[in-house]
Amino acid sequence: MKIKGAVLREANRPLTIETLELEPPGQGEVLVKYVHTAFCHSDLHFLLGEMGELVPYPFVVGHETAGVVEEVGPRVTRVEKGDHVTATWMIPCGRCPQCQRGRGTICTGNLWTLSAGQLPSGATRMTDKDGGLVFYQTFVSGFATHMVIPEEGAIVLPKELPLDQACFMGCCVPTGWGSITKKAQIQPGDSVAVFGMGGVGLNTVRAAALSHANPVIAVDIEGSKEAIAREFGATQFINSSEEDPVERIRLETGGLPVEGLGFLGGGVDVVVEAIGDPGAHIQAYWCLAAGGKLVVPGIIPAGQEAPMQLTFMPLQEHSILGTLYGSISTDIDIPRYAHMAMTQDLKLDKLCTKHFKLEEINDVAEAMKRREIIGRWVCDLD
């Protein structure tokens, strides 16, 4: 069938909206009509080539999506036609050492087909007008009207959850919530700071607030993000373009300024660095209390370095913990987050701040580069 998709032919070039040929779903695969796809900061990393050529060109971009199952291939048992689903950008193989230890988000079994732009089965399903192969971005390729994905990557969501909120279940909700509950394993009363008030950062703040963290300090370089950060549960907001977040956080949490040493005492129990910026990384580390954890879902662009002075890492038992996809189990946790979105106030209705058309996607990428996006902008694929 013919579909429309946003194709990246090489890094640092505009996306082209192309008509592509999509093969029907094979064994264990489903055809999903994508309805809404949000633009995530990781998509910008791909556009700028900052993922270090993770996926072969050309590929259809996007990975935070929700849609409706339109057709199922042979031997599909987990989803049915008409189901509302999100698509996961990592699919555990179940057999590799990481999967066997319950760490499916860092599955190495399927990492290789992911990095070959294929589905876990090794299949590719798209060709362009010249008959050339078009690859997948991380098993999803969300900025397209339809896509064939494996049933293991299709997580069924309640139909009552609006699809322009359901798309957030594909990336920023699990990454934010998992950073707090899985990786930081936060306890009520823990103090938290979150760097970067994008989609992941806001969900991190929300997870911290609903986990009874206190204070929940939001840090962003754009003062315009204060209102939405507070809406999601931040008790304080620091505009890091105007003041040093390390000094403010250490002072406000009981630290004493000491000549030559910086600060004695103070700091927060958990800092989440949700930007992927070397400078923010270093600042985030210096906000840690003794025994504190720096949790890092943000991806520093390939080739950039963050020089860190780590004398206090053993002396104060600081931990630096990378997390991918919030270290969740996609199968178990995404339906739980969807259920929470129906029964608790995750603020997802406040997260979608603008709808756009597929043809406007390059403008959206430019707006993200200029840091103008507050909340998440969502593409309408109808």
Partner 1 sequence: MTRCIYPMPEWLEESKKLYDSSFEKKLQKISGHYAYRIKAEPSWGIDKDLFQCSIMDAGKLIEMRFYTEEEAVKEADFIMAASAPVWKNILTKTDKFVAAFMARRIKLDKGNPVKALALGPYAGTMVDSLTQVELVFPDDLSPEEFGQFKAAFAEYRERAGV
Here the tokens at position 247 are 């000094």
Cα–Cα nearest to 365, from 68, 38, 139: 38
Closest distance between Zn ion and the C-beta of residue 71, in Å?
Answer: 26
Nearer to partner 1, 74 or 132 (CB): 132
How far is residue 361's CA from residue 373's CA, in Å, rounded to a whole number?
Answer: 13
Which stretch, 33-41, 141-149, 275-283, 338-346, contacts Zn ion (CB under 5 A)? 33-41
Does 150 engage in binding with Zn ion (CB under 5 A)?
A: no
How far is residue 170's CA from residue 147's CA, in Å, rounded to a whole number?
Answer: 15
Here the tokens at position 370 are 């200029």
How far is residue 361's CA from residue 353's CA, in Å, rounded to a whole number?
Answer: 15
Does 249 engage in binding with Zn ion (CB under 5 A)?
A: no
Could you tell me how far CA 165 lies from the centroid of its own chain? 14
278 binds, options partner 1, Zn ion, none, Cβ within 5 to 8 A by partner type: none
Closest distance between partner 1 and the C-beta of residue 90, in Å?
Answer: 15
Query: How many CA atoms lie within 13 Å of 166's alpha carbon, on the beta-carbon side?
Result: 24
Closest distance between Zn ion and the C-beta of residue 62, in Å?
Answer: 9
Nearer to partner 1, 123 or 321 (CB): 123
Largest CA distance in the chain: 70
Cα–Cα nearest to 92, from 336, 331, 335, 337: 331
Binding mask 71-110 for Zn ion (x = CB under 5 A): ---------------------xx--x--x-------x-x-
Contact 49, 102 (CB under 8 A): no
Closest distance between partner 1 and the C-beta of residue 62, in Å?
Answer: 18
Residue 249: phi and psi, rounded to 5, are: -70, -45
Which spans of this chain sit near partner 1 (rule: CB under 8 A)?
56, 109, 112-113, 115-118, 121-124, 127, 130-133, 135
42 binds, options Zn ion, partner 1, none, Cβ within 5 to 8 A by partner type: Zn ion
Does 42 engage in binding with Zn ion (CB under 5 A)?
A: yes
Which stretch, 167-175, 180-188, 233-241, 245-253, contacts Zn ion (CB under 5 A)? 167-175
Residues that bind Zn ion (CB under 5 A): 40, 42, 92-93, 96, 99, 107, 109, 171
